[in-house]
Amino acid sequence: MKKVAAVLAGVLIATGLTLTVSPATQAAACEGTYTIVVGGFTDNTSSIFTGNVSQRVGYSAALNSQSARQGVDELNRLIRDQRAACPSQHAKVVGFSEGAAVAHIWVTENWQTFDNVNAVLIADPKRDPNGLGGNGLAGQAPSAVFGPIVGAPLVGVDRFFGNVPTVSLCADDIICDELAPSGWIGYAEHKHVNNYDFNVDRYSDDGVGQWFNGQYFPDK
């Protein structure tokens, strides 16, 4: 299965979109929660999310480290611009798939300098299972193959969220769990998308722990 994962990752990289289409950036209201979303592979306008979305991050959404870095930098710019305009507003970062990796990396890099924020990671390829299933895609293939191709910061799994409330969701999905029963067949059957709810209003401003295959597990 790991060999299949490495091959598919190479195919995705080879065919990844490189054009960046940035959604129009408009000042969001200071009332309520500022919800900023990051879409996954090929979703370069983060269009998959519904509900009260304040801002959609635009980035190349190709499966490589340059794209991930671009997404992190753009997320950082947008969320900090909003915070400068609305200092007391809570921010909620929601990412899916590669976008979850972008959100994950942003939290890891910025938790010490940004407060009043939480993160929702849906099908995070950088998911550290913490005893629940297996690694996400970023930690599945042998590092000798996956690491040099994809590169940091996208490669590797971890739980470095500092004091930012972070909830991770993974449901029978090979992208966030190498032991997912449906395997790569499930990915081809669109379980990677169909198993999740993309309405951002479903997710709280302070969720922590993991929702794994329909069950909630608090942080250990």
CATH of the domain at 44: 3.40.50
* Rounded distance between C-alpha atoms, residue 175 and residue 188, angstroms: 12
Q: How confident is the model at residue 28 (pLDDT cuts 50, 70, 90)?
A: confident
Beta strands 166-170 and 209-212 are: parallel
Q: How many helices (H) and strands (E) would you count in the chain?
A: 6, 7
Judged against a pLDDT cut of 80, whether residue 9 lies above it is answered with no
Residues 6+ apart with CB under 8 A from 79: 34, 36, 91, 93, 106, 114, 117
* Rounded distance between C-alpha atoms, residue 94 and residue 182, angstroms: 25
Judged against a pLDDT cut of 50, whether residue 138 lies above it is answered with yes
Q: How many CB atoms lie within 10 A of CB 204?
A: 13
Model pTM score:
0.86
CA nearest to 130, candidates 96, 95, 187, 170: 170
Total domains, the chain: 1
Judged against a pLDDT cut of 80, whether residue 190 lies above it is answered with yes
Domain range spanning residue 65?
A: 2-217
ω into 153 cis (within 30 of 0)? yes
